[in-house]
């Protein structure tokens, strides 16, 4: 994880996921599920937010306002796996649909906070937008700017 401490901008330099989904029937589909899930989890950590104004009106009503990342915003995911066959079904398979999302959100937020730990940052609310990161750095410094 790379954080620009002047602007608060966050950049994922590399993302490695190791999953165990039991016996893999179709590797392409398993990798595809992981790619999509990881992207969705990263999106929750860094981009997606349903924002409301003081009167309770939803502000993020279009995909121009409600941010989702595209391929241009994400690194190439490095995937690896162990294969421990499930004992509860004859094929030895496990679910893979949500494997990517479950780990990626906390991994990304923790990586942002870990990168800023030397500056004294201990928490940032999701999504970790550049403005929130910048303010967290300023608060940790104890300064106004």
> Can you give the binding site for other proteins, defined by CB under 8 A?
6-7, 9, 47, 51, 59-60, 62, 64-65, 67-70, 72-73, 129-131, 134-135, 145
- Asked if residues 141 and 119 have their Cβ atoms less than 8 Å apart, the reply is yes
Annotated catalytic residue within 2, 6, 98, 139: 98
Q: Which is nearer to other proteins, 54 or 64 (CB)?
A: 64
Query: Least distance from C-beta 29 to other proteins, angstroms?
Result: 27
Q: For other proteins, which is the closer residue by CB, 6 or 80?
A: 6
Which contacts qualify for 60-64: CB closer than 8 Å, 24 or more apart? none
Least Å distance between CB 47 and other proteins?
A: 7
Q: Which residue, 5, 8, 89, is CA-closest to 46?
A: 8
Structure tokens at 26: 């179709």
d(CA 140, CA 121): 6
Nearest approach, Cβ of residue 70 and other proteins (Å) = 6
- Which helix (H) or strand (E) is 38 found in, with range? helix 27-46
Least spacing, CB of residue 53 vs other proteins, in Å? 9
122: region left, alpha or beta (phi > 0 left; psi from -120 to 50 alpha) = alpha
Residue 98 a catalytic site member: yes
Q: Which is nearer to other proteins, 67 or 103 (CB)?
A: 67
**Strand (E) positions, the chain?**
2-3, 10-11, 15-19, 77-81
Q: Which is nearer to other proteins, 15 or 134 (CB)?
A: 134
Catalytic residue numbers, as ranges: 98
């Amino acid at each position: 994880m790379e954080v620009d401490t002047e602007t608060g901008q966050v950049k994922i330099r590399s993302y490695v996921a190791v999953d165990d989904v039991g016996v893999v029937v179709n590797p392409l589909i398993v990798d595809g599920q992981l790619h999509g899930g990881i992207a969705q989890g990263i999106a929750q950590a860094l981009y997606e937010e349903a924002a409301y104004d003081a009167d309770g009106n939803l502000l993020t009503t279009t995909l121009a306002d409600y941010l989702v990342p595209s391929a241009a915003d994400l690194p190439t995911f490095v995937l690896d796996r162990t294969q421990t066959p499930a004992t509860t079904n004859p094929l030895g398979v496990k679910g893979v649909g949500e494997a990517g999302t479950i780990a990626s959100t906390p991994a990304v937020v923790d990586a942002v906070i870990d990168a800023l730990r030397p500056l004294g940052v201990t928490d940032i609310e999701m999504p970790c937008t550049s403005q929130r990161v910048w303010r967290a750095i300023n608060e940790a410094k104890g300064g106004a700017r």
